Structure 1
């Protein structure tokens, strides 16, 4: 009797993949660790060791962002390498870490979360994505930049359009055109404001970016605009989806929800585990500067590599019980979960590690605590966890919850 045929390589643009990428990831890791995907003109990798190397090894560059990001954002720190990258990262990073973040922006985060939670805290039910998750990070970014909250709907539309452009793996021409139009609208809106902040800076993040200087170098107006565009999408979309996924995971595991309710210092651990199990971004691209050998074969210099974060984070060669949510797991390094040395791959790793990781952690710590303060006996309105949606980014598109109001927030 002949051996059964190995499963065929999954197609990341198929409907079956969109419905259940996790089963596809298992097949990829076990049978097809290196796939040439004709439609996206990229190699697809799925094993933890390969994705980790693609993020850390300098042979893997971010030159793919020249065509992937620049048309819609302009040139950002993600496209830079070497001294240029170090200089620009050092110009923006201080605002997103340590004392600067705590003193300048934590009050902004707390205020925006409290306002949104108060709007539904007495209702006993909430659609958490639409009423909280999609609004909270955008409100925070707009507030941090010192821009009018009345422009929220513009920002929400812009970041939705830009994320559509970035996740347009099938090459839809209308989606691409919408992204380019958004780029122009955003520049027309923000460039005059940048000029005004240079002339009369305040204590907001946009003023910080306008006045930051290292060795006589300052960011240009268009570099600041590009960074704000990147912040809008990277900080909005990912935090939005992280909130929905974390709350869905906690409600689906009442014992772990109870543990977090009793000890709020567990929120970062729960967030890190949700990032591992159900990451907001499932794939990131890289481009090697020379031929490189990974599991399954050789990738030629200059080819695009699609790194499957969602697959790497569930690799049984790296994590025990990889398909289970467990905030107490001992193989996820909590001490480094929000640093470039993290052992989940959801913030990338190495030199292009997400500059906003601590901002995201601070938003999640604040937001989840506020939600738990306002809501007891939280349950899924339909009795079951909602399905996830998306391929490039992924999370529940709706999260309908019932709860007993507590009568207030912190």
Structure 2
């Protein structure tokens, strides 16, 4: 068995290339590590990460320094009544009737437009031509923003994610993140002010008009939420879409099963979230001393919760390093709710508000892509590889197919 000293550092090139062996060593030999460079305690076992997401003793106070500098104060930092009110203002747009009636057509149209660009080409890169564009386009459309600004949105959210994942404290990454906050405010605040005067049926208008118990969101609240939405909704769904195809293309028999029975898309998505989650680590802060496997985390400490490690804990999942959409220890019906088995959306009161939006995007995307590319296969000689530490997924996914025509 490995010792704590043998575990590769989470900032090392070895870890960035393939964190999964390091995750195994941590779970087995060092379930609690004090990590000096990030001044945080690292936890890796399923039961400990689940505890951190569900128990209110693990707070989101760390977002004051981790997220606020780039987004402003967001819903993620709030707790108690303030959090409940803000969540009630934004949540309806991401579930139920609003999602189905207002935003499903937006999702379907945006996916189709992107596929139309390569539908007849017989080849495509599913990351650069589809995954990195689709969720951001959907969010821009939902908010009623100009999709011509796509490159700016993409640049902003990439910079924000780099800031959040800046574990080594690179000053250039920090400066770029702070610059993005200013640029996004200059772009967004005038649009919000104009929208307040000219309400439409887009999500931005909904946020401007929303009121719970006499509380409305101010311009700064709305701007911070839009910033969070672009970053969280762009980067994560982008990585999830790339990963679901990388996983299926490297398991052709499972890809064939999904193509034949599209109800399996949810299973493939849930298993992708478990096996190769888009977000590999989330931080929390302790309100008091907490016992976890391997020792005690003191009050006021930053805790790095390794989702990527917890989701492959053999104490929770059978044969956890295998991608298997048919596994019986992952409940698909709960996979997109706060009662999920996997930890990719976090759990509890800060469970990802956009989980059902992500599910709708992935279902639509996978369905439309499989329709357009009936014999989809990896480009000859290409093996998918993940990149990233904080968020992780394939950077390229070149595929070939015989065009199915324009349905």
TM-score, shorter chain, exceeding 0.5? yes
Q: Is the 8 A contact 1:10 1:28 kept in 2?
A: no
Q: Partner of 1:65 in structure 2?
A: 63
Superposition pairs of residues 132-211 of structure 1, within 5 angstroms: 132-211=130-209
Q: Distance in 2 between matches of 1:266 and 1:280?
A: 20
Cα deviation, 1:161-202, whole Å, max 9, x if unaligned, reads 111111111111111111101100100111011111111100
Q: Is the 8 A contact 1:7 1:27 kept in 2?
A: no
Cα deviation, 1:279-329, whole Å, max 9, x if unaligned, reads 000000001100001000000001000000000000000000101111111
Deviates more, 1:166-175 or 1:23-32: 166-175
Q: Distance in 2 between matches of 1:299 and 1:218?
A: 38
Shift of 1:378: 1.7
Q: Distance in 2 between matches of 1:223 and 1:5?
A: 46
Q: Distance in 2 between matches of 1:383 and 1:63?
A: 47
SS of the residue aligned with 1:142? Answer: helix
2:242 is equivalent to residue 235 of structure 1: no
Q: Distance in 2 between matches of 1:63 and 1:173?
A: 22
Shift of 1:384: 4.5
- Kindly report structure 1 stretches of 4+ aligned residues shifted beyond 6 Å: 3-6
2:325 is equivalent to residue 324 of structure 1: no
Q: Identify unmatched segments of 5+ residues in structure 2.
A: none
Superposition pairs of residues 223-302 of structure 1, within 5 angstroms: 223-302=221-300
Q: Distance in 2 between matches of 1:248 and 1:404?
A: 19
Q: Distance in 2 between matches of 1:106 and 1:212?
A: 21
Shift of 1:6: 6.7
Q: Partner of 1:105 in structure 2?
A: 103
Q: Distance in 1 between matches of 2:2 and 2:99?
A: 56
Shift of 1:385: 2.9
Q: Distance in 2 between matches of 1:171 and 1:276?
A: 28
Q: Distance in 2 between matches of 1:389 and 1:129?
A: 13
Q: Partner of 1:402 in structure 2?
A: 400
Q: Is the 8 A contact 1:382 1:400 kept in 2?
A: no
SS of the residue aligned with 1:35? Answer: strand
Task: Please provide the CA RMSD for this pair.
Answer: 1.1
Superposition pairs of residues 120-131 of structure 1, within 5 angstroms: 120-131=118-129
Cα deviation, 1:315-366, whole Å, max 9, x if unaligned, reads 0000001011111111001111000010100000000000000000000000
Q: Identify unmatched segments of 5+ residues in structure 1.
A: none
TM-score (norm 2): 0.98
Cα deviation, 1:59-99, whole Å, max 9, x if unaligned, reads 00000000000000000010001011000000000000011
Deviates more, 1:104-113 or 1:383-392: 383-392
Q: Is the 8 A contact 2:32 2:295 kept in 1?
A: yes
Q: Distance in 1 between matches of 2:115 and 2:153?
A: 20
Q: Is the 8 A contact 1:9 1:35 kept in 2?
A: no
- The number of aligned residues is 407
Shift of 1:51: 0.1
TM-score (norm 1): 0.98
